[in-house]
Amino acid sequence: MMIKEVILHAGVYKTGTSSIQDTLYHNCELLKDAGFLYIKDWNRNQSMAIKNIVAENPYDHPLSILNQINTPEKLSAYNNYNIEKMLLAMNNSQCHTLIISAEIMFHLSEKELLKLKSFFVHTLGDISFKVIIFTRNHIAYAPSMIQEFTIRENPNMLDAINGFTIKYKDIHKSITRVFDNIIFIEFEEASRKGLVKYFLNLLNVPDSFLPGINIFRSNEARCGEVIELITYINDQEPQYFKSELKKNKNREIGDVNPLFPIKGTKFDIPYELKMEFLAATKNDALYLKELTGIDYTNNVIEPYTYTLAYTRETIDGFINAFPKLSYDIQSIFLDFFKNKYRDTGNEAFKRLFDEDSTPYKMHLFAKEFGEITGNAGYEHEWKERIWSQRYKQPDCVQIFTNYSNGYSHENCYTYPIEGSDLVIIDLEFNLSKNITEFRIDPSKYSSVILLKEILVNNRKDNCILKSSNNDDRVGDAFFFLSDDPQLYYTTNETVASIHLEMYVDSGTYPFYYFANRMGNGMRLPRNEIFEKTKKIEELLAAKRALDHEIEENRQRIIGKDRRIEELMAIEQSLNHSLEEHKRITEDLNLKQAAFEQEINDSAVQSGQIFSSLTWKWTSKLNALSFKFLPLNSKRRNFVKKLLKKMRFLNGHQRW
């Protein structure tokens, strides 16, 4: 690493910071050759990267809320990614100066500024710091700042006035406690000399590089009529809910941008508020004059009446912008101008909300289409435009590359297209960027896309369609009913080149899709398309019901199969038990037979012994009866009968 100096461009807001940042961002390669590093991976405005690295409470910042960096895990992953990209950019360059442009820095506390300084010292070692701050007249700053924050985040104008009063004294005191080399530049003087070139001269960019730098001018002022409408929109649907640190699901970043080009009354704040602002900033202007010599103390404000004209040109601008708004913003738009007509009685406002007005019919059409297709409402990103104006709208193909930090406009290549001609695009990339994913936005509007050929590194099989928001597909033809069609691709190797050929029909009225899919080559009238669309929806509903019934039957069959398996398992268990019972029975029978045989053997043996003894005694008894008892006497006959009954004589002696 060769970084020896860090230049901190700390704003303030509305002093040309967007123009400076756009110029640094889009000329970063040329500046790198001159020895100045601007970290492109930190995006154009580096406020979010700086805020999340050093903030005491990063979760309450609007950018964190809108990008849903709302947990320690997400914050850690975001910071680690940015630090890794910073170190990678430094290691791949021979730059001596690092430029950081983040107007959030003038809002940082002293503790956060110390943490920022420590971060760079710890990362880069022995370095010097230069802080550049542009100042602007408090009175000119007020309306410019208020309109910017009314658009970007604040719910209404009064909150913007109360929350963003510039105080150079506080800025100076907090920064000088941390940094030594601080330069205050008068914005008005720098603008007269060419703001961006003036800034590049402050950086000491060599004169030989200046002619090759493309100067950008950004953040044009918005007219008062637009700011009034946006204030009403923010009041009805805030961009986010700060108390809950939660993004509003009905809003999206940039959803009011189609209103910006509208021409009308130059935005200002009422005379009374401006005088209050002047009184509140008087002491701060004196402090700045004593500190830097920049004099904002001689402000003279002549009384004036601030009135919004709402000319025909302005109302035409609103009508032209209406189809580019989201469905939810369109609803608020109609309510706003209905209220304007009720309050003022100005008949011109009827062109913006009346039932015969173009915006009302367009909004009604979007609603009818949504009821049929389910695409109404911002959550489905339905932004229906009136079909007769489609061919008049500029269109383009955009290719986004993913450098592991998601898709953003900083990594986008744009190619204007017209009509339905064949689009051929060739891109080459630096292999060090390690691109393995890219996204193709073939149009800004609902369209039919015929993909003829896509090659990555000159090979057809080297990329895979990962996902798409198409509503239908037939071969290489993609049908998109809603705006902002997208095709996401992933590759098997690092992308070095992309070759794309495709036909884009972005002028087709979305309902033609239904007619064409039914094989009817003619573009049908709207009522016929509605009828056929409803019929298709009925068939689709019947198909869904049939699919549901099939699924239920399948689940029943699965249930029965499981029951059969359970019964078979029970049967198997019973068979096993019966076999075991049979074996035990046979074993018991064998043991019983052996036992009975043993008993019989014992009985026979006992009988033989008993028979032998009986024989002896009966023989003696018989002998005695012969000897002592007379023949045929009663006693002798009794003994004879007794011996006979005993049956032990067994025929050996018979009387």
Q: Which of 161-170, 211-220, 437-446, 492-501 has the lowest mean pLDDT?
A: 161-170
The pLDDT value given to residue 597: 82
Chain center to CA of 560: 42
Q: How many CB atoms lie within 10 A of CB 185?
A: 18
**Does a structural domain hold residue 33?**
yes
At 512-531, the pLDDT tens digits run: 444 344 333 333 344 454 45
Same domain for 344 and 256: yes
**Does a structural domain hold residue 154?**
yes
**Does a structural domain hold residue 655?**
no
The pLDDT value given to residue 303: 93
Residue scoring higher pLDDT (650 or 654): 650
Same domain for 610 and 502: no
Residue scoring higher pLDDT (234 or 431): 234
Same domain for 450 and 434: yes
To the nearest whole percent, how much of the chain has pLDDT over 70?
81
SS (H, E, C) 537-590: HHHHHHHHHHHHHHHHHHHHHHHHHHHHHHHHHHHHHHHHHHHHHHHHHHHHHH
Same domain for 255 and 111: no
Q: Are 135 and 14 in contact (CB under 8 A)?
A: no
29: number of CA atoms within 13 Å, CB side?
Answer: 4
Q: Give the end of a domain, one of 360, 384, 408.
A: 384
What are 185's strand-pairing partners? 134
Same domain for 182 and 274: yes
pTM of the entire predicted model = 0.58
Residue scoring higher pLDDT (104 or 506): 104
Burial of 372 (0-12, 13-18, 19+ CB in 10 A): middle
**Does a structural domain hold residue 302?**
no
Any alpha helices (H) in 101-202, and if so which ranges? 110-124, 138-152, 157-163, 168-176, 187-193, 195-202
Same domain for 622 and 474: no
Residues across the chain? 655
Q: Are 319 and 352 in contact (CB under 8 A)?
A: yes
Q: Write out the two tokens for 560.
A: 């029965």
Residue numbers of the domain that contains 492: 387-518
Same domain for 204 and 89: yes
Q: Position 67: which residue type?
A: N
Mean pLDDT, rounded, of the chain? 80
Nearest residue to 312 (alpha-carbon basis) of 345, 343, 281, 350: 350
Return the percent helix, strand and coil in the chain, to nearest 5.
55, 15, 30
Confidence of residue 477 (pLDDT cuts 50, 70, 90): confident
Q: Position 87: which residue type?
A: L
Confidence of residue 648 (pLDDT cuts 50, 70, 90): very low
Question: Residue with structure tokens 């001689």?
Answer: 298
Confidence of residue 536 (pLDDT cuts 50, 70, 90): low
- Report the distance separating Cα 17 and Cα 51, nearest Å: 17
CA trace torsion 595, 601, 606, 609 (10° rounding): -170
Same domain for 11 and 141: yes
Same domain for 396 and 249: no
Averaged over 364-379, what is the pLDDT? 49
Q: Write out the two tokens for 299.
A: 């402000």
Whole-angstrom CA distances from 80 to 117, 133, 403, 429, 483 are 18, 28, 14, 25, 35
The pLDDT value given to residue 425: 87
The number of folded domains in the chain is 4
- Report the distance separating Cα 82 and Cα 103, nearest Å: 18
**Does a structural domain hold residue 303?**
no
Same domain for 540 and 444: no
The three-state secondary structure class of 443 is: coil
Q: Are 44 and 21 in contact (CB under 8 A)?
A: yes
Same domain for 440 and 361: no
At 125-167, the pLDDT tens digits run: 999 999 999 999 988 888 888 887 777 655 455 555 555 567 8
Residue 404 Rama label (left phi>0; alpha psi -120 to 50; beta): left
Same domain for 631 and 576: yes
